[in-house]
Amino acid sequence: MHHRSRRCPIVERRQTLSISSSSSSSSFSSTSTASAAATDSADAIPAFIPQEFGSEVTEPAARRFIARMRRVELPVEGVSSRLATAFVGPDEGSPSSSSPSSPALPPVVCLHGFDSSCLEFRRLEPLLAERGIECWCPDLIGWGFTSLADFKANGRSRPTAPSSSSASSSSSSSSSASSAPDAAPLSSLGPEEKRLHLLSFWENVLKRRKMVLLGTSLGGGIAIDFAVSHPETVEGLVLVAPQAYAEGIGPLSAAPRWLARLGVKLLRSVPLRQAANKMAYYNVEEFATEDAMRVGRLHTHLPGWEEGNVAFMASGGYSLGPEAVRAVACARTLLVWGENDEILPPATLVEKFREDLPKGNGRTEFVSVAECGHCPHLEQPEKLAEAVAAFVKGGGGGGGGSGGGES
């Protein structure tokens, strides 16, 4: 959700990154930046992040995560033939890539919440890697550090020519997208576009390996939506204070574009971000810092951020009622909630999820995290990492929190 950084000179270069998976190795085009001493510096700021704002971040975990951020061009059907997708994934030689037990485990894909970025997982992802868990943190279209450079001011996409450097392997649907001379025009960037983007990430980066989707807040709702739409892709779900039982964004979807733009501008304002920051944590003094606020709004300084959110509002957002939750068909689900969550209070929501998520044979597990607000991945990352690692390795998730249970 939130972070900070220091200015450093950079030299941008184009390079091909080879990313190894448990089933195959793949090369794909990625835009990467590094400092003059790139191999030695943990403070390099990628060129696609505004340097004057990235340089303000001071939290070491955030600075390291920013330095590891990359982009890969992905074909997204009906959206773009080469969408520059920001993500953080396993580093060569990391515990998750070298652990002898990791090839048998599904990768974990972390999905952040509304108008946020993969920086939400700056504290969790390294802890999962230490436990031998292969972890990927992408930014879905319209949010985070994924490029919106191909979108005009009215929210419609510019035509994009196919790129020979696009991901080399894709499904028939993605192949047709990448070979199309023009991307279809868009008037919204909503659930359908995000669904197609995540599908392309699964096809081209994960090479169609079944994954565990970990979603926080609205990211949990996105995980549910994707698991229902593409059950063949999902081994399990980890839902961290998930947002559901809501019918989209309501009347705002019909607001005139000028009014929607005004509302979106408020999302970047320091007072609103700081207020949300304070609501997100149990230990406000330690975690709701000015630096955390700066990290949380870092992506809002990218070109196209405003229009991306306006386009999301125009889509109507996610409508996830009880029927969507009941439609989850993956083998197992782990539900995690901070006991002191003031944004989505567990007292009113946990039982709803436990009632509607799949039952029988331990298919739904629950972990309650003590002394924790809306963001266990930021406030209690060790506890969440323990629960997730146990879940992925098949031992259940109950070890990471103050309580547990099965439905």
pLDDT tens readout for residues 217-271: 999 999 999 999 999 999 999 999 999 998 887 776 677 777 877 888 888 889 9
Bridge partners, residue 237, by sequence: 213, 333
Res 92: pLDDT: 66
Average pLDDT for residues 270-286, to the nearest whole number? 94
Which pLDDT band holds residue 75 (cuts at 50, 70, 90)?
Answer: very high
Residues of the chain with pLDDT > 70: what percent?
73
Res 6: pLDDT: 34
406, pLDDT greater than 90: no
Res 300: pLDDT: 94
Average pLDDT for residues 83-97, to the nearest whole number? 79
d(CA 142, CA 116): 10
Res 36: pLDDT: 35
176, pLDDT greater than 80: no
Residue 181 lies in a domain: yes
CA 334, 116, 42: angle at the middle one, nearest 5?
95
Q: Which two tokens stand for residue 159?
A: 């035509």
More confident residue, 358 or 147: 147
d(CA 219, CA 213): 9
Q: Provide CB contacts within 8 A for 205, sequence distance 6+.
A: 19, 26, 28, 72, 74, 87, 89, 136, 138, 167
Give the count of beta carbons closer than 10 Å to the beta carbon of residue 101: 10
Contact assessment for residue 215 and residue 222, using Cβ atoms and an 8 Å cutoff: yes
295, pLDDT greater than 50: yes
Average pLDDT for residues 381-402, to the nearest whole number? 81
Res 57: pLDDT: 96
For 307-349, how does the pLDDT look when each residue is reduced to its tens digit (9 = 90+)?
888 889 888 889 999 999 999 988 899 999 999 999 999 998 9
d(CA 304, CA 312): 12
Query: 266: buried, middle or exposed (CB in 10 Å: 19+, 13-18, 0-12)?
Result: exposed
Q: Which two tokens stand for residue 62?
A: 């955030």
Least confident of 115-129, 178-192, 294-308, 310-324: 178-192
> What Rg do the C-alpha atoms of the chain give, in angstroms?
20
Residue 150 lies in a domain: yes
Strand ranges in 190-248 using DSSP code E only, listed in sequence order: 211-216, 234-240, 246-247
d(CA 46, CA 236): 32
Residue type, 347: A
Residue 325 lies in a domain: yes
Which pLDDT band holds residue 195 (cuts at 50, 70, 90)?
Answer: very high
Which strand (E) or helix (H) includes residue 369? strand 364-369
Closest CA to 365 of 402, 336, 324: 336
Residue 2 lies in a domain: no
Contact assessment for residue 29 and residue 16, using Cβ atoms and an 8 Å cutoff: yes
Give the count of beta carbons closer than 10 Å to the beta carbon of residue 407: 17
191, pLDDT greater than 50: yes
Closest CA to 129 of 158, 102, 160: 102
Residue 23 lies in a domain: no
Q: Which two tokens stand for residue 84?
A: 């520059």
More confident residue, 200 or 251: 200
d(CA 180, CA 184): 9
Average pLDDT for residues 147-162, to the nearest whole number? 50
Average pLDDT for residues 101-108, to the nearest whole number? 78
Residue 383 lies in a domain: yes
Q: Provide CB contacts within 8 A for 60, sequence distance 6+.
A: none
Residue 1 lies in a domain: no
Which pLDDT band holds residue 284 (cuts at 50, 70, 90)?
Answer: very high
Residue type, 228: V
Residue type, 157: S
Look at the chain and report how many structural domains it folds into: 1
Residue 68 lies in a domain: no
Model confidence, pTM: 0.80
First and final C-alpha spacing in the chain: 30
1, pLDDT greater than 70: no
123, pLDDT greater than 70: yes
Domain that holds residue 223: 74-400
Res 95: pLDDT: 52
Look up the CATH number of the domain holding residue 349. 3.40.50.1820
Burial call 2-26: b when 16+ CB within 10 Å, e when fewer: bbbbeebebeeeeeebebebbeeeb
Contact assessment for residue 49 and residue 69, using Cβ atoms and an 8 Å cutoff: yes
34, pLDDT greater than 80: no
d(CA 74, CA 366): 35
